[in-house]
Amino acid sequence: MRKIVGLMDHLRKDTLLDRIRGEWRERRRRRQLLRWNAKSGKGEWFEFRVDRGIRMRLHFDSKLAHLIYCDDFETRERHFMNAFLRPGDVFVDVGANIGLFSLIAARRVGKSGAVYAIEPAQKTFRRLQDNVKLNDFPNVQCFQLAFSDESGEFPFYTSEDGFDAWNSIARPIAGKSFSREFIQCVTWDHFARHHALLGKVTMMKIDVEGWEAHVLRGGKEALSREDAPLLQIEFTDEAALSAGCSCKHLYHLIEGLGYSMFRYDPRARELVHDPLRGKYPYVNLIAAKKPEEVNVRLSRRSFWQ
């Protein structure tokens, strides 16, 4: 009787589907965790199909790999990319890590498109290259460097206890053991000019653990243009503070470049305006200059989907 009452309550509130999805995700998470534990100790890594037509090497010493396999890491963002990108597009992945979003983009943009994967950490960069080779994506170019507001060589924190997704020029907000390596930094303005990308990039993903404002300041010329790319940017208060910034400053910096801020609604397949929040524990937002055009594109399913 109690279950029936609960079911009726969900039906009245139109939350039954959410409940079913939530329970399904939790069951799937438990299954994946059991499989991860069973595979662990049998090698350094294993191959996993993360998306249609995409496989990755997931290393057991990586918290990010664990999140991808066990927790459906950033499914909303992956849904957006699959809905938005089209053959012939150009995608720039700033903070590519082991290549999850670069690989998704490579499949979406096809042979007529291009992906530029930017990853500075030596160990992570090798794993990125391995995953690109594993999928035989000739449209992906990998660059071992970082974007900032000035060019040169900078010290970079890399995790020694598995928190590779939090590696940063700023002191990472996760993990306890770090080493430091020196990385090469350039500005996006310089990189875009050098590779003839001004006005040609469809989308940029910027996930650099608090260093986002520095990346944007280094791309002020290119990103102020009317034909500047759509941006997906990570907002995390703790990481921004570690880099001497704030999410409020980051939000206004993006607006100053001519963008408006949105979140993606995967059910409606559209952007929804996202005003400045009081807190940003962790969220990826979309910055767009022409949101109406983005929504039109999102509403049109391509034959790839």
| pLDDT of 4 | 53
Q: Answer whether 249's CB lies under 8 Å from 212's CB.
A: no
Residue 39's pLDDT is what? 86
The interaxial angle of helices 122-135 and 100-109, nearest 10 deg, is 30
Q: Which residues of the chain have a pLDDT value below 50?
A: 5, 7, 11, 303-305
Domains of the chain, by residue range, sit at 74-299
What CATH number should be reported for the domain whose range is 74-299?
3.40.50.150
The whole-number pLDDT of residue 6 equals 52
What is the rounded CA–CA span in Å between residue 128 and residue 250? 28
Query: What's the pLDDT score for residue 5?
Result: 46
What pLDDT, on the 0 to 100 scale, is given for residue 16? 65
Task: Say what the pLDDT of residue 304 is.
Answer: 47
Query: Could you tell me how far CA 189 lies from the centroid of its own chain?
Result: 21
Helices in the chain by DSSP H: which ranges? 2-12, 16-39, 63-70, 75-84, 100-109, 122-135, 188-194, 212-217, 220-223, 237-242, 247-256, 291-299
- Identify the pLDDT of residue 204: 98
